[in-house]
Amino acid sequence: MTRFMVLLLAAIAVNPAFCSADDVTDDLPVPHLPAKPYEYVDVQLPPHLLFPDFRYGNAVGADNTPQDNPITNAGATLGRVLFYDKRLSANDTTSCSSCHQQQHGFSDPERFSKGLHGKRTKRRSMGLTNARFYAPGRFFWDERAATLEDQVLMPIQDDVEMGMNLDDLEIKLRSVDFYPPLFESAFGTPEINRDRISRALAQFVRSLVSFQSKYDRAVSFGKGVYPTFENGLNKQELLGLQLYSGGFGLGRSARCDRCHGTTAHISRNATNNGLDLTTDKDDGAGGGRFKAPSLRNVAVRAPYMHDGRFKDLREVIEHYNSGVQNHPDLDRSLSRGPGRRRGRGRGPGRRGGDRNGEPVRLNLSNTEIDALVAFLNTLTDHEFLRDPRFSDPFADLNQPIAATKQRSTKKDAPANPERAANREKLARKALKKARAATEPRIKTAELMLIVKRFAETKAAQEAKNLLGGAKK
């Protein structure tokens, strides 16, 4: 191994962020987009998602799409590219899709996701199916993000997840040839900034609506919002539906729909579901309350809960069957206590329960548990899980390339003044870091890296001079 490679690897090992936000790598793939853009706007949602109904609730009424950021085809296309692009991380190793994988309902099969430097997140990755349908509009398990537009930028900046400074991200994306045309198509001009990045990512996430599961096909046997489930579900699944929401004359019901309602199977607000007697270690949104994602595609996104403590759906049901803890802020629907009250929204409105109330025990039989699991499996939308509109554009090599191109490597390629200015700025920032390095071997390796990656810049020449001075 050459002396340069030894020093280079030493620099990366000690300061892995150095060769990330300070450089634009040329060897990452470009997106392969269809010649005719995918349709994200004119999507025919079924009537049971569009119209309110006294029996099944109002899914479309929970739509959190803001008026100033409606889904557009160009915006969602850009958002899809950003969602899957590892350039959004500081070291070009991690994308949003690393923790939100399509085949797992845009969640992660790992209990805790692995970030850009191999560290694990503190909570598990939340599924994004039907994220559009949540009336409070807040995001993350603890609802710390007021909107989806706020949420999508937070993992990018998180030191564990993607570790990218937004100022550097803007500069970095401006230096990637295929992004200005995509931003111009989405927003009218090629300007790249964090607001547009946020808006495009939010549009793509809101486009992730599931409506082609076995459950949806069963609903379609009825008229409008009045389904005839008997024609679409088998006997075991029907029993599971009875246990889930009641009303089918097949016996008792656990009424899961009190917390996971409407035909989109969404929650109304964050709740305490009795996971722990005390929640000092993780109090969520306060009082041990956590937001729950839609149950669509729930069967493919194990493990479960904010901390991934349950490995499968049977364990989840067994928790509600016999394991709910008597937390003082336990949701009223899970308590027999007369003093419990079901608050709305955030803050102390969820609190004030009666400590003398006893948690509900469902006492489901194995047959009933099996039926409930079978019903939850009918919410799996296999079309959604392989829909090319939501897939990785950097891996879809069968699609013809449109509006994207690999950066030219020819020496006689025409100069791009904006790109040259961006690279000079990045090189200057890297040079500043190199000058500040206190350990000689790291300083030398960082200077050599600048010379290698920014050879055409004035900053690289200064780095060469510094290296020459060091040798003397």
- Report pLDDT digits (tens) over 358-385: 898 999 999 999 999 999 999 999 999 9
Q: Between 17 and 256, where is the model more confident?
A: 256
What lies within 8 Å, CB to CB, of 309 at 6+ separation is 275, 303
Sign of the CA dihedral with 81 first, then 83, 89, and 93 last: negative
What lies within 8 Å, CB to CB, of 195 at 6+ separation is none
In this predicted structure, what is the pLDDT of residue 53? 67
> Helix, strand, or coil here: 412?
coil
Q: Between 159 and 442, where is the model more confident?
A: 159
State the alpha helices, DSSP H only, in 67-161: 73-84, 96-99, 148-151, 154-157
| 120 bridge partner residues | 114
In this predicted structure, what is the pLDDT of residue 227? 66
Rounded distance between C-alpha atoms, residue 324 and residue 141, angstroms = 19
Q: Which of 8-12, 198-202, 456-460 has the highest mean pLDDT?
A: 198-202
In this predicted structure, what is the pLDDT of residue 338? 53
Rounded to 5 degrees, φ, ψ at 439 are -90, 120
Mean local confidence (pLDDT), 449-465:
82
| 57 bridge partner residues | 53
What lies within 8 Å, CB to CB, of 268 at 6+ separation is 62, 135, 136, 259, 261, 344
Please say whether the beta carbons of 308 and 120 come within 8 A: no
Give residue for tokens 């389904």: 227
- Residue of 303, 299, 274 lying closest to 288 (CA atoms): 274
Rounded distance between C-alpha atoms, residue 251 and residue 139, angstroms = 36
By mean pLDDT, which of 196-205, 322-331, 429-438 is the weakest?
429-438
| 359 bridge partner residues | 335
pLDDT at 167 exceeding the cut of 60: yes
Please say whether the beta carbons of 378 and 236 come within 8 A: no
